[in-house]
Amino acid sequence: MKKPTMATLPRDARDTLFLLAVIALIILPQADTLPWWCTTLTTAVLIWRGTLAVQSRPLPSRWWRIALLVVAVAATFATHRTLLGRDAGVTLVVILLALKTLELRARRDAFVVFFLGFFAMLTNFFYSQSLATAAMMLLALLGLLTALVNAHMPVGRPPLAQAARTAGWMALAGAPIMFALFLLFPRFAPLWGTPTDAMAGRSGLSNTMRVGTIAELALDGRVAARIKFDGDRAPPQSQLYFRGPVLAQFDGREWTALPSWRRGAGGSELRTSGEPLGYEVTLEPSNRPWLLTLDAAPRAPALPGYEVTGSSDLQWFVNRPLSDLVRYRAQSYTRFESGPVASANSLRAYLALPPASNPRTAALAREMLADPALAGAATPALVQAVLRRLRTGGYSYTLEPGVYGNDTADEFWFDRKEGFCEHIASAFVVLMRGMNVPARIVTGYQGGELNGIDNYWVLRQSDAHAWAEVWEAGKGWVRVDPTGAVAPGRVGQSMRLVQPPGLFAGAVIAMSPTFAQNLRAAWEAVNNGWNQWVLNYTQSRQLDLLKNIGFTAPSLEDLAYVLLYLLVGASLAGALWTLWERSQHDPWLRLLGRAHARLAKAGLAVPDTAPPRQMAALAEAFFGTDESAPLRDWLLKLEAQRYAPAGPGTLAALRAEFRRLPWPARKAGPALLQPG
């Protein structure tokens, strides 16, 4: 038996398959965020429904649908421990959309599926607002509009291409209104955020560092931030240290930050020199409350809508987690000193080590202090001695040093002698504290990559880095990057451990490495433009737009008025266009209608469907041959203009002649005549 094709399938089956394909496109971007069982069940239901449509089999009974719904709700509760909130709500919407296709019988059911599809399409932006997601959802929007238009064509078998063209014109017609709403609709915080969602689904730096965790980010090529330096005046790559959490408490394996009350307020002990660097940071959502700044920023970054506070360890915090892409300006100095210049009680927290941990490292610290060459040496000499040991002791930089135990510093210095940046920094700080030198770990990002197309520096998760700061009398806190002693190329020369490319990327790189690099740079430049002009279009930029229009001190009220005026103007323009379009609909029929109305006024009511020749015969019978002759001649010319290959005169000439016609005098009536 010949397999059915889209051309041979009944219209109901064809339309159902098209709608199922659109639903699959809507759900596809969420496949990695939905629970595995939800993705599996949704896929199975869509395939089941498509099979029923192709085979023209009846839909499942009501009890099947109820059973699947109960299973889905129970599984949602078991997965999320709630039926409320973003993640649980999205899971239920996706399941309900799939199950609704199992009762897709009447047009009313189809409309419910359409509008559920529109809602499910919006839920994709809860998780990603990237350009790729937006492009896929635009395609899904056109698909849903096509299905909606097709559902309003109940007769025959209209081609989907015809419905798609109509949907495309509808989308284009609505685009100006959407653009105006995007520009002028007041920006508010999203309504769907819930506290349980605040830290979900994000990776990146944390306020703790278990030795080995930064290595997990080393092969993550996702963008963490983009930086644009004023005048493209970027410092050398070796000075690009973007500061994140500062960690000081150590339990032998994990580093954590000091409580805020022990860190104190920031800014008062920062001493800078040289010229400041101005730059703009576009920070990807992290759901963390800190801002990345180039070391060191003396003033709070300018971030509208957030309260920014600092601490004495040069960190900058905001009053809530950054769940959206943000853009802020900052100024930094690459030459600076911070912290107390003389010994103080606040430094004691940076000497603490857990008792009985890393005994061999403690013994190494005593041994180095007992060395006559280091007897009574100051901090710089002790630091150089440790760095010399790293350079000459056979230590190596690797992403896979194995699983470390509880005494991580002992294992690095004496057993494994290899590690990633956090292994090296952690072992370095433990040894410095063992020699009674205050030290701490700073996590953040180092280096980055310049995109030559838009001149933005791109920080990736793979640029995550850990370095150390030691306290030196007379100077304060001084940066030391021990990883540079083990692998100099890691700092300043863009040496990164990269993930092996996939099959397609590997083929492109093998064919032309330069082309692959340029292609990636171009795509990221386009994404950056999307971030800058769409995702980062904030309330402050809306008010700046009003300033450019002419408002001296714009407010949200002014924004609402401008939007209202635009919408009213667009509505009036639409109404005028509708009237104009109506006037353009078959002017010949409109002129014939005027003749109908004029005859009725003269007492002769002719059938609405009467053509000009029939109207002429009726007029002649009613008014007489002589009195109706001019009207009869005009009606015959009107008919010839419509149907003759080369009709006499133009429609404009006939319209002018119509206005000059000597109409017969009104007779008693009105009368409705039929030709004899």
> Chunked in runs of 10, what are the mean pLDDT values of the chain (676 residues)?
62 83 89 87 89 84 86 87 84 88 79 87 82 86 88 74 84 81 66 40 65 62 86 85 91 83 58 89 86 90 85 88 85 89 86 89 91 85 93 85 80 87 90 93 89 83 89 91 83 53 51 63 72 68 72 71 79 77 71 85 83 87 83 87 67 84 68 47
- How far apart are alpha carbons 555 and 186 in whole angstroms? 10
Phi, psi of 212 (to 5 degrees): 115, -10
* 30 secondary structure, DSSP code: G
- How far apart are alpha carbons 217 and 204 in whole angstroms? 7
Q: Which amino acid is at 223?
A: V
**Is omega for the bond preceding 653 within 30 degrees of 0, making it cis?**
no
The pLDDT, as a whole number, for residue 148 is 87
- How far apart are alpha carbons 234 and 241 in whole angstroms? 12
Residues 118 and 144 sit within 8 Å (Cβ to Cβ): yes
The pLDDT, as a whole number, for residue 126 is 81
Q: What share of the chain is helix, strand, coil (3-state, %, to 5)?
A: 50, 15, 35
The pLDDT, as a whole number, for residue 451 is 81
What are the tokens at 95? 């399941």
Question: What predicted TM-score, i.e. pTM, was given to this entire model?
Answer: 0.64
What are the tokens at 287? 């759901």
The pLDDT, as a whole number, for residue 234 is 85
Any idea what the Cα angle at residue 63 is, between residues 57 and 66, rounded to 5°?
A: 115
What's the CA dihedral at 638, 641, 643, 647 to 10 degrees? 140
The pLDDT, as a whole number, for residue 242 is 93
- How far apart are alpha carbons 652 and 658 in whole angstroms? 10
Residues 323 and 287 sit within 8 Å (Cβ to Cβ): yes
The pLDDT, as a whole number, for residue 649 is 63
The pLDDT, as a whole number, for residue 468 is 93
The pLDDT, as a whole number, for residue 440 is 94
User: How many angstroms from the chain centroid is the CA of residue 174?
Assistant: 22
Residues 202 and 580 sit within 8 Å (Cβ to Cβ): no
* 4 secondary structure, DSSP code: P
- How far apart are alpha carbons 179 and 449 in whole angstroms? 34
Q: Which amino acid is at 384?
A: Q
- How far apart are alpha carbons 83 and 75 in whole angstroms? 10
Residues 503 and 294 sit within 8 Å (Cβ to Cβ): no
How many other CB atoms are found less than 10 A from the CB of residue 189? 10
